[in-house]
């Protein structure tokens, strides 16, 4: 690990790639449940010393046991490839692959490396490029440079629903460097730079990652999603799913019914079909009414799109960053369906969405 050759295997000349991406690009063998495909080339900036942050739920946390290269991220290994090999594979990718996303880490070297990787991908491949940014190490000029380098979409992983939860799990509560206000300021700057057009509803360019199951109430998450939408960004929902060896390794996932209700609320907010004020909440701030006609609610559940993965869109207008099984193990019960739910799955959703536990 400490050899000269290992130290050279870092970004921008190398990057980690998600296991699902490697399968899609033919760099690894494998098949996914129900024929799911990964529509996005998911890359992770890599340095042997890793990330300086210590987020309680993250597989890449600085204080999680193990070497950085061997740490999992979103429950899977991320093999390391040269950018030359990645670019060659992207240019031979199946037609269903519609976008590349580079995930940054909190490491001072990450700024220049991400710029260089973005420039190469922009010049040498035809796929549009998203960047999941690291706000703690970026300023406004860096965002402008990312756009100039060829990125067309930005993701901000706010993750937590309140400033207090953010500080507990990402900031001072875990000895981490992240601050809620810095993330929100960076989100505003990203919107000014990447989303100058008022046409956010057809062409959203800034997304916010939010994670359900960290101690927030359903109402708190709904109010934050509404706030983000009014700012001009879109919400990309995740469910907490414990990483082995992390501080929260023993924490359970949120109840499936809770996640289904928040997914449906997100869909209604972003489609302009309801506002938080239309919804009803019980004494524990759980959603008990969505404020729309029963027949419309029924048809939305039946259609199933509300329960599919949300992420950056491809040129075809469909979600490209669909992260198959990043939230849970493959089953009929998914905490983000990477494909349209079938009749069995929509029946299961309908049966459980109003479970209160």
Q: Are 331 and 27 in contact (CB under 8 A)?
A: no
Residues of the chain with pLDDT under 70: 1-7, 62-76, 198-202, 357
Q: Which residue has the tokens 């489609």?
A: 271
Q: What is the reported pLDDT for 243?
A: 84
Q: What is the reported pLDDT for 1?
A: 44
Q: What is the reported pLDDT for 3?
A: 46
Contacts of 324 by beta carbon, 8 Å cutoff, 6+ apart: 20, 32, 33, 36, 37, 38, 309, 338
State the Cα–Cα distance between residues 325 and 329, nearest whole angstrom: 6
274: CATH: 3.20.20.70
Give the DSSP letter of residue 253.
Answer: P
Q: What is the reported pLDDT for 76?
A: 66
Q: What is the reported pLDDT for 60?
A: 76
Any domain includes 170: yes
**Beta strand 14-17 pairing with 80-82:** antiparallel
Long-range residue pairs from 2-9, CB within 8 A, at least 24 positions apart, any chain: 6/48, 7/48, 9/46, 9/48, 9/80
Any domain includes 357: no
Q: What is the reported pLDDT for 169?
A: 97
Q: What is the reported pLDDT for 8?
A: 79
Give the DSSP letter of residue 34.
Answer: G
**What's the maximum distance between 2 C-alpha atoms anywhere in the chain?**
65
Full residue range of the structural domain in which residue 19 is found: 4-352
Closest C-alpha to 356, from 288, 300, 297, 302: 288
- Indicate yes or no: pTM above 0.85: yes
* 163 burial type by CB count under 10 A (0-12 exposed, 13-18 middle, 19+ buried): middle
Q: Which residue has the tokens 């700024």?
A: 111
SS3 breakdown of the chain: % helix, strand, coil, rounded to 5? 35, 15, 50
Any domain includes 206: yes
Give residue-wise pLDDT tens across range 82-138.
Answer: 999 999 999 999 999 999 999 999 999 999 999 999 999 999 999 999 999 999 999
State the Cα–Cα distance between residues 2 and 96, nearest whole angstrom: 39
Q: Is the preceding omega at residue 12 within 30 degrees of 0, hence cis? A: yes
Work out the angle between the directed axes of helices 180-194 and 163-170 (0-180°, nearest 10): 110
Please state the domain count of the chain: 1
Give residue-wise pLDDT tens across range 229-254.
Answer: 999 999 999 999 988 888 898 999 99
Closest C-alpha to 160, from 175, 179, 177, 143: 179
Any domain includes 331: yes
Closest C-alpha to 100, from 44, 142, 149: 44
């Amino acid at each position: 690990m400490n050899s000269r050759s290992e130290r050279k295997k870092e970004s921008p000349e190398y990057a980690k790639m998600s296991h699902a991406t490697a399968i899609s690009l033919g760099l690894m063998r494998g098949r996914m449940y129900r024929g799911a495909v990964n529509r996005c080339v998911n890359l992770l900036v890599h340095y042997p010393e890793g990330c300086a942050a210590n987020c309680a739920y993250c597989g890449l946390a600085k204080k999680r046991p193990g070497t950085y290269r061997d740490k999992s991220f979103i429950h899977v290994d991320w093999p390391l490839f040269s950018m030359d090999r990645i670019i060659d594979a992207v240019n031979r990718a199946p037609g269903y692959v519609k976008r590349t996303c580079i995930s940054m880490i909190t490491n001072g070297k990450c700024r220049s490396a991400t710029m260089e990787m973005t420039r190469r991908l922009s010049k040498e491949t035809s796929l549009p490029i998203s960047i999941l940014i690291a706000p703690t190490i970026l300023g406004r000029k860096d965002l402008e440079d990312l756009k100039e380098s060829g990125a067309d979409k930005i993701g901000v992983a706010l993750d937590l629903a309140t400033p207090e939860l953010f500080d507990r799990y990402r900031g001072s509560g875990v000895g981490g460097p992240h601050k809620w206000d810095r993330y929100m300021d960076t989100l505003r700057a990203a919107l000014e730079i990447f989303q100058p057009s008022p046409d956010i509803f057809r062409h959203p360019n800034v997304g916010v990652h939010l994670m359900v199951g960290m101690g927030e109430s359903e109402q708190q998450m709904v109010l934050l999603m509404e706030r983000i939408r009014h700012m001009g960004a879109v919400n990309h929902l995740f469910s907490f799913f414990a990483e082995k060896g992390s501080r929260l390794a023993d924490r359970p996932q949120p109840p499936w019914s809770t996640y289904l209700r928040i997914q449906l609320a997100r869909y209604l907010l972003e489609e302009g079909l309801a506002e938080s004020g239309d919804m009803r909440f019980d004494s524990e701030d759980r959603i008990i009414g969505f404020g729309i006609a029963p027949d419309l609610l029924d048809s939305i559940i039946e259609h199933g799109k509300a329960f599919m993965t949300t992420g950056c869109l491809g040129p075809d207008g469909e979600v490209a960053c669909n992260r198959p099984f990043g939230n849970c193990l493959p089953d009929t019960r998914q905490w983000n369906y990477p494909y349209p739910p079938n009749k069995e799955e929509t029946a299961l959703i309908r049966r459980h969405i109003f479970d209160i536990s």
